[in-house]
Structures are given as structure tokens and as C-alpha cells.
A = this chain, B = another copy of it.
């Protein structure tokens, strides 16, 4: 699109090292898009047409079962790239991407992106790194689902949110994301009810305070007693 969009794209980690005149080749290939809170960017089973760059907002990557249960694999924040980047030869998306806030993103056709990436060795390598990180994350999800019970998984989630999405306040870490109990449940593969209950227990124990759909964690280190190191 416009020059400004390209300029923004350049801010994405993956493109940092690409010379600006190279980036301009993408000029007319980039599209921008608003997605309203709760609307899907794409759904499971849709053909993988685009690669997305999240500029503003919050998007979750999740999988939904036939019975309507959902498990959330990642919360994407501005600066993150998504879509089927992988081998880039997959034909259908295996997940869905849904906005959890009004979000602003731009997108490039998969083939164009693929071509661009393949003509820049550095890009291929960064992509490799991104995929590697993604593998680590999912592996951890498997391990946690298999080995930890709900309080442990929840404590671990809150602990990590403290590190990635919290403001440090005098009385603790305020998690900036406004996640419902249902969304928290989806993130750890549990039912909404038990999340409510366990959050209640954590509150009683003085580990946290819930206020207007925000969580204030008094002392993240206290949460660690619920889950083993690593």
C-alpha cells in the first residue's frame, strides 16, 4: 500500500535487516485490514492465502473441536507474524486466528511472501528461528498438558503473563491483557468453572487480586510453588 505501511513493516523483527529499497518491492503487495474484537482473521480449514503481520491489537491462535471446545495455542501481540509460514506448502490452516481486541494488521499473499523470503537468505534463517521458537512453545504446551494439573498450569500461565504482559506496580504485577476466565481456561486446556474456582483459591491465599477483568499478581515468585522449575 502506501509508503507508511512499508515503513511499519520494516519494524517487524524479521525485516529489520532488509534494506529499505528492497522492502519497497513489497509496496503494492501489502494489504491492510481491521479486524473487530471477536472476529476471525481466518478459520480452521480455510485455504492459506495470506501471511499476516499484527500491527495493533491482540490475536489468539486456537484450535476448536467438533463439540465446540477451544484450546488456545498462542496470544499474538503487535510485531508478531502469523499465518501458515511453515513449509509454506500446506494447503489448509490447521488453526484459527481470532481477534481478542480490535486489531489492525497487514497481510501479503502467501506466494509473494514465500518468494520474497526465498530470495533473501537472511529471511529464511530468521523464519527458521521463528519456527524453532514456535516448536519449543508447543512442546512446552504438550509437556504441561501431560504432566501438570490445573492449578499448576494456571500458576505457570499467570507467571509467564507477568513476564510478557504486565506493568510493574508498587503492589505487584498488573497483567495488562483483559482475559476472561474462559480465555484463561482455553490457554491451559481446562474448564471455565475450575479456572474460576482456582483463581478464587489463589485470591484467598493472597497471591493475587482480581479487579475489573484484570489480574494483579502480588508476587509472581509465590506462584512458582505450584509448578516445578522448567
Known interface pairs A71-B146, A139-B95, A146-B189; A133-B87 also in contact (CB < 8 Å): yes
A28 interface hit (Cβ, 8 Å): no
What's the least CB distance linking A193 to chain B, in Å? 16
A129 interface hit (Cβ, 8 Å): yes
1/0 contact trace for A63-79 toward B, CB 8 Å?
10111010101000000
What's the least CB distance linking A46 to chain B, in Å? 14
In angstroms, Cα B145 to Cα A46, docked, is 23
Known interface pairs A90-B136, A136-B94, A139-B94; A65-B131 also in contact (CB < 8 Å): no
B142 touches A73 (CB 8 A): yes
Task: Number of A interface residues at 8 Å Cβ cutoff, please give it.
Answer: 40
What's the least CB distance linking A137 to chain B, in Å? 9
User: Which residues of A, 144-166, contact B by the 8 Å Cβ criterion?
Assistant: 145-147
A146 touches B86 (CB 8 A): no
Copies per complex? 2
A209 interface hit (Cβ, 8 Å): no
In angstroms, Cα B139 to Cα A172, docked, is 34
Chain B residues closer than 8 Å to A142, beta-carbon distance: 63, 71, 73, 138, 141-142, 145
A118 interface hit (Cβ, 8 Å): yes
Chain B residues closer than 8 Å to A147, beta-carbon distance: 65, 67, 69, 71
What's the least CB distance linking A117 to chain B, in Å? 9
Among A30-38, A97-105, A119-127, A197-205, the stretch that binds chain B is A119-127
A131 CB contact (under 8 Å) in B135, B143, B145, B228? B135
A167 interface hit (Cβ, 8 Å): no
Chain A positions within 8 Å of B, measured between CB atoms, are: 63, 65-67, 69, 71, 73, 85-90, 94-95, 118, 121, 124-125, 127-136, 138-143, 145-147, 189, 228
Q: Would you mind naming 27 contact pairs between A and B with Cβ atoms under 8 Å apart?
A: A69-B146, A71-B142, A71-B143, A71-B146, A85-B132, A86-B129, A86-B133, A86-B136, A87-B131, A88-B128, A88-B132, A94-B136, A95-B139, A121-B121, A121-B124, A124-B125, A127-B128, A128-B131, A131-B132, A131-B135, A135-B138, A138-B139, A141-B142, A142-B145, A145-B145, A145-B146, A146-B189
